[in-house]
Amino acid sequence: MLHADDISLRKLEPTDLPFLYQWENDSRSWADSDIHNPLSQKDLRDYIESSTGDIYKDGQLRLIIESVSDNSTLGCIDLFDFDPHNRKAAVGMYLAEAARGKGVGKMVVRLLEEYAFSFLNMRMLYIFVAENNTACIRLYKSLGWDQTASLKEWLNTGNVVVLQRMKQ
């Protein structure tokens, strides 16, 4: 488990199913992702059960963001499209509405960076963000991520920017 202040990042558990079901089926976030249809509880249960929590075996890693003080679930953060040869991975993060605007995202991204760069020895993390998601872009830029590309009409809803963070 990874910790910083009142935040921990932990492996998926079967008890996370209700949260994942609610989040994955929130169609408001589909426009900014590659999700195109609802997921069943069985789909998500199978995903949780098949996930080893080992990025080298699974090719991805989903970690639950949890408040240490009250054990509430605040969201999740993913490393995916893992490329061990080139030592890079994409990042995706979801924060529950109650956790937004409180510095949680900043703490979580810092924790993930430390884990990815120090423990996993990655050399690069990157994220694709809808151009109109200014809060997300501002968050990553405030942490030293560089905007390196703009992908025109990447999504049906418009442009996407690519932000990267290199190992220091």
pLDDT digit string (tens) for 26-69?
A: 777 766 666 677 888 999 999 899 999 999 999 999 999 999 98
Domain total in the chain: 1
pTM, 2 dp: 0.91
Distance of CA 61 to the CA centre of its chain: 9
CATH number at residue 58: 3.40.630.30
Average pLDDT over residues 138-153: 97
Look at residue 33 in the predicted model and tell me its pLDDT. Answer: 64
- Top pLDDT among 79 and 157 is at 79
Domain presence at residue 65: yes
Name the token pair of 129: 């963000």
Look up the domain containing 20 and give its range.
Answer: 2-122
Q: Is 37 inside a domain boundary?
A: yes
Residue 107 predicted with pLDDT over 70: yes
Q: In what order do the strands lie in the sheet with 73-83?
A: 2-4, 7-11, 61-67, 73-83, 88-95, 124-130, 158-166, 146-155
